[in-house]
Amino acid sequence: MNKDLLRLLRPLLIIFILINAFAITGKSWLEKNSVDPSVLIAGNLLLFLVSLTAFLITYRSLRSSNPQAFVRAMYGSFMIKFFLIAIVAFIYIMIARKNVNKPGLIACGILYIVYTVLETGALMKLLKQRKNA
């Protein structure tokens, strides 16, 4: 990976590391507030990987000479991210049944928004750097 790509991905990496560090070190505080740390860690890992994949798909589309490639990549990465997360949440809810950790799911929903904002911000910075964008 080149330096520019790593610089753009730095906020995603920092949030991922901070959330995992908080979930591990603040386990007692999270449990006191009814948040299952394992749900938070698993959700954070899934969101990071899906956001990273979506970013890389969109990043590769910027090299294309076809102007529609970027739009297709944006919509495609959103669809992949949204449906994959919805399917995983549905599977978790079906497996856990009455033991679903609602505060953990809400925290993961907030993390979804955070990762989406960071991914979009990184892509916007990349588009500003392009001469013909």
Contact 115, 84 (CB under 8 A): no
**Is residue 18 included in any domain, yes or no?**
yes
Report the distance separating Cα 86 and Cα 92, nearest Å: 10
**Is residue 112 included in any domain, yes or no?**
yes
Supply the mean pLDDT for the chain.
91
**Is residue 46 included in any domain, yes or no?**
yes
H-state helical runs in the chain: 3-25, 27-32, 37-61, 68-96, 102-129
Return the percentage of the chain with pLDDT > 90, whole number: 70
Class of residue 91 by CB neighbours under 10 A (exposed 0-12, middle 13-18, buried 19+)? exposed
**Is residue 71 included in any domain, yes or no?**
yes
pLDDT score recorded for residue 24: 95
Q: What is the pLDDT of residues 73-132, one digit of tens each?
A: 989 998 999 999 999 999 999 999 899 999 999 999 999 999 999 999 998 888 887 665
Longest Cα–Cα distance in the chain: 54
Q: What is the pLDDT of residues 55-84, one digit of tens each?
A: 999 988 888 888 788 889 989 998 999 999
pTM summary value: 0.89
Number of domains in the chain: 1
**Is residue 34 included in any domain, yes or no?**
yes
Domain of residue 118, residue span: 3-125
pLDDT at residue 21 greater than cutoff 60? yes
pLDDT score recorded for residue 1: 56
pLDDT score recorded for residue 66: 85
